[in-house]
Amino acid sequence: MKILQIDNLTFSYDGKKNIYKNFSLHMKKGEVVCIVGPSGSGKSTLFELIAKNLKPNGGFVRVEKISQIFQDPYTSFHPTYSIIDQIKDVTPLDNYEVLCEELNLEKELLYKKPHMLSGGQLQRCSILRAILMKPDLILADEPTSALDNITQLEVMKLLLKFLDRVGILLITHDESLATWCSDRVISLHLE
């Protein structure tokens, strides 16, 4: 089953310079596709189009249920209330204890506020939230770039454990990470 189908996508912000022209991408569950390219090449724009925050000028995007993991875990959680309350706001907590174990995440951390956790702990909370939403596709926008090298590898390995349930579309500047973890790498270029 295709969880993402993009066919002949054309998009520009000003109607003049196309960021995408006849771009196509199909994904299925269990697949990791990495989007790499310099700043300004359209990586985040692609996510906005998939999330339906932007409308294509041509072609179409068909996507099953998505959830997102953002680059900076500290800005993806509200600073003044607990992680667990924020997760409960967007999704039921079905089997969250089991998922915490899979993510090497102590349940007690969920009752704390974001600033009380390390970047790696908080990014694991982001993964927990994303998986609890039972998506078909996870959009991961530079999910490890704010972390040190050891934590980056640990977080990516944890995320890849869920490929039996989801497909992952990953934005990264790190070409070695893209090569290591993905089934396909799509390179975007500035025109």
End-to-end CA distance of the chain, in Å? 34
pLDDT at residue 155 in the model:
79
> What's residue 144's pLDDT?
79
CA distance 158 to 104: 9
User: In a 3-state reduction of DSSP, which class is residue 136?
Assistant: coil
d(CA 187, CA 28): 19
Find out whether 172 and 32 touch, Cβ atoms under 8 Å: no
Q: Tens digit of pLDDT per residue, the chain (191 long)?
A: 799 999 999 999 887 788 999 999 999 999 999 999 888 889 989 999 999 999 999 999 999 999 999 888 888 999 999 999 999 999 999 989 999 988 889 999 999 999 999 988 998 899 999 999 999 999 999 887 777 777 778 878 888 988 999 999 999 888 888 888 899 999 988 76
Query: Whose CA is closest to 172, among 32, 19, 33, 35?
Result: 35
pLDDT value of position 31: 96
CA dist 122 and 129 (Å) reads 11
DSSP state letter for 72: -
Architecture of domain 2-187: 3-Layer(aba) Sandwich (3.40)
Amino acid at position 162, single letter: F
What is the SS3 assignment for 30?
A: coil
Q: Are strands 20-28 and 2-11 parallel, antiparallel or unpaired?
A: antiparallel
**Reported pTM:** 0.90
Pairing of strands 20-28, 137-141: unpaired
Domain boundaries, the chain: 2-187
